């Protein structure tokens, strides 16, 4: 007799929730690679982060849903049901990830760790000396289930995004990054407040209720 383990039950429950998730269904219908596109869409529509003509860097971009959304914002007249709209872009999108990503028309993709010099050099070439208007970071670590260890991994990625923003953002630019409530969260908020003039925490409706994730937005770099 086969005995179902707790993990099997959890996986089946997650799969059932995922298949029936309205944002998953909407993503399939509208051609987005992941439901995460609607998290960015909701935050953008609320705060007005993304505008045509900007230079946007998408950290932790794979599979590409956030870059797809920005692509649509930069070519709204050409956006159809294909997720990655065709047509000439009014703006520049540079996406980075450790993982490979299927191409998106008009998006410059760099695979690698941006803390490594060779990857940083490729990024600087892609930016062509221009300051960045918006840094997006949906980076998340592989979680171990050990709370202290996972909190440290999350904090490291947020700190990397902050350092990236300090280096590349124009003075009035914005950073949007994923964080998780729990150990280390208040310290990350304080780091944002040290870095930006305006800081806002946002929990979009597209973020699952059970998830501890939220998003921090920082706008306008403080003078250093």
Catalytic residue annotation? 178
**CA 57 to CA 213: how far, in whole Å?**
21
Give the angle subtended at the CA of 65 by the CAs of 132 and 213, to the nearest 5°.
Answer: 85
**CA 183 to CA 168: how far, in whole Å?**
28
DSSP 22-89: HHHHHHHHHT-SSTHHHHHHHHHHHH----TT-EEEEET-TT-HHHHHHHHHHSGGG--TTSS--S--
**CA-closest candidate to residue 88, choices 105, 67, 102, 100:** 105
* Separation of first and last alpha carbons in the chain: 66
3-state SS, residue 178: strand
The residue written with tokens 């998006």 in the block is 107
CB 27 within 8 A of CB 17: no
């Amino acid at each position: 007799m086969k005995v179902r383990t707790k993990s099997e039950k959890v996986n089946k429950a997650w799969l059932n929730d995922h298949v029936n998730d309205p944002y998953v269904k909407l993503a399939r219908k509208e051609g987005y690679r992941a439901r995460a596109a609607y998290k960015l869409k909701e935050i953008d529509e609320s705060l007005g982060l993304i505008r045509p003509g900007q230079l946007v860097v998408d950290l932790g971009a794979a599979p590409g849903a956030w870059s797809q959304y920005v692509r649509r914002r930069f070519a709204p007249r050409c956006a159809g049901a294909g997720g990655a709209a065709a047509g000439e872009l009014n703006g520049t999108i540079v996406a980075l990830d450790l993982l490979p990503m299927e191409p998106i028309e008009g998006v410059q993709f760099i695979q690698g760790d941006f803390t490594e010099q060779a990857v940083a050099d490729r990024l600087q070439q892609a930016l062509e000396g221009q300051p960045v208007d918006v840094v997006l970071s949906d980076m998340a670590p592989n979680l171990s289930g050990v709370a202290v260890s996972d909190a440290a991994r999350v904090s490291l990625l947020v700190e990397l995004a902050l350092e990236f923003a300090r280096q590349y953002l124009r003075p009035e630019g914005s950073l949007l990054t994923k964080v998780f409530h729990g150990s280390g969260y208040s310290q990350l908020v304080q780091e944002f407040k040290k870095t930006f003039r305006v800081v806002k925490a946002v929990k979009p409706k597209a973020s699952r209720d059970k998830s501890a994730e939220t998003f921090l937005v920082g706008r306008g770099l403080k003078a250093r």
